[in-house]
Amino acid sequence: MALKKISFRDSVERMFTHAASLMELSPGLEQKIRVCNSTYTVRFGVRLRGQIHTFTGYRSVHSEHMEPVKGGIRYSLDVNQDEVEALAALMTYKCALVEVPFGGSKGGLRIDPRAWNEDELERITRRFTYELSRRNLISPSQNVPAPDMGTGEREMAWMADAYKRLHPDDINAKACVTGKPRTAGGIDGRVEATGRGVQFALREFFRHDDVMKRAGLSGTLAGKRVVVQGLGNVGYHAAQFLSAEDRALITCVIERDGVIRNPLGINIDALRGHIRATGGVKGFVGGDFSEDGLRALEDECDILVPAAIESVIDEDNAARINCKLIIEAANGPVTADADAILREKGIVIIPDMYANAGGVTVSYFEWVKNLSQISLGRLERRYEEARARMLVEELERLSADTGLNWTLSRGFKEAFLTGADELELVRSGLDDTMRESFKKMKEVWMNNPKVDDMRTAAYVVAIRRISNVYNSLGL
């Protein structure tokens, strides 16, 4: 008889329990941190195409040790309570690890977004928002959703507008969701943020010889062979930045309908265009197509980037995974059983909790921007430019007066004289977050003999921070 596979939530709990067992937490605190505080299930009807359709949605709040709680809203037919609770728990640990002052939450609607047109999706989303708002499960001060699989800027704009109509006197209404379009109070760089964070995480990894050595890697990202699963928001941006800016070779892209391989590197923008036009990777001329996408996870490569759904690497295929490093761009792509097998094989895993934290980090910046009602850099940008100009002019004057006749290169001068705009500030804040969090994880990983992988290290850092909050609250 086949053994029952471990569920996503059990995987998260097992990883948490392992890390907590290495720590000395006060009695009962481990259980308090582990449990999901509440999960709300809603069923609501919307009249569409001449009949009432009933939809099921969830919003789970894992931990309110900090408020608001934060976490994406997923639209998928696979959404279920177990999944939403696992994702909410991960949000708690993720926020603690990257030091954004939120508790963890997650939501989902059981729906195939491709089965409905834009008007229909808008009506469904507005109704879902109403149901969440009635229970304070969307609110700038208590619970702030964001995009996740199957949702994006468009859905966030509908949710923000629906919330504003219900709370016209709330001056902070815009901050009720993040991931909005710029015109609806969003922030530059949010759409790319999770993929950008994956890139920054890999760049930081490649700055540390000792951790690279553990994965059997050396050198830089240039020329490294990368396999990506899922060319959606996260996967596309990660693949695009890694290939265009770090000269990594994306040798394989796995999508729902199959896989495209090209050992010389796939043109990611062209493939994205093809997917948009045809709905899949089949027929793309820039590589070889095969229908067996799952098998391509086992292709030989340096870095494997699962960026689609959870539990794609489990005890069935883990032994055949043939890479040196896995960066979990998706949430929960590796089950707890697979994790043990991969570690045994010497494969290093950069855990989801850290790897895809770019999204929540930039969401935090957006939330702060909404509350302060001013875009980042608006006050200081021109002031910075004026001071830079003073310095350049003084250097040029000194150079002329002393007869040295130095000239600053045009490129340098232009870059130096331009104050940082919102996008640059967001990228700077994200880069800083990814670097600092990596160092904290690494410190625990390298210095604690009981911690033998980066995931456990990430949990230890997160649990320690959450327990400090609970201890100071006096629970």
Which residue is at the shortest CB distance from ligand NAD? 232
Stretch near ligand NAD under the rule CB under 6 A, chosen from 181-189, 200-208, 307-315, 397-405: 307-315
Residue in 183, 190, 134, 193 with CA at minimum distance from that of residue 161: 183
Q: Which of 232, 287, 351, 377 binds ligand NAD (CB under 6 A)?
A: 232
Q: Which of 94, 106, 174, 224 is catalytic?
A: 106
When the beta carbons of 149 and 217 are compared against ligand NAD, the nearer one is 149
In the chain, the N- to C-terminal Cα span, in Å, equals: 46
Residue 309 sits in the site that holds ligand NAD (CB under 6 A): yes
Least distance to ligand NAD, CB of residue 76, Å: 8
Contact 264, 249 (CB under 8 A): yes
Least distance to ligand NAD, CB of residue 27, Å: 34
Interacting positions 399-438 with ligand NAD (CB under 6 A): none
State yes or no: is 213 an active-site residue: no
Least distance to ligand NAD, CB of residue 22, Å: 26
**What is the rounded CA–CA span in Å between residue 59 and residue 81?**
9
Q: Which of 98, 228, 249, 308 binds ligand NAD (CB under 6 A)?
A: 308
Contact 124, 46 (CB under 8 A): yes
Residue 149 sits in the site that holds ligand NAD (CB under 6 A): yes
When the beta carbons of 306 and 381 are compared against ligand NAD, the nearer one is 306
Stretch near ligand NAD under the rule CB under 6 A, chosen from 166-174, 227-235, 238-246, 392-400: 227-235
> Binding marks (x or -) toward ligand NAD, 246..285, rule CB under 6 A?
--------xxx-----------------------------
Q: Which of 330, 336, 457, 463 binds ligand NAD (CB under 6 A)?
A: 330
When the beta carbons of 68 and 381 are compared against ligand NAD, the nearer one is 68
When the beta carbons of 19 and 308 are compared against ligand NAD, the nearer one is 308
Chain residues that interact with ligand NAD, rule: CB under 6 A? 147-150, 194, 229-235, 254-256, 293, 307-309, 329-331, 356, 359
Positions marked catalytic: 106
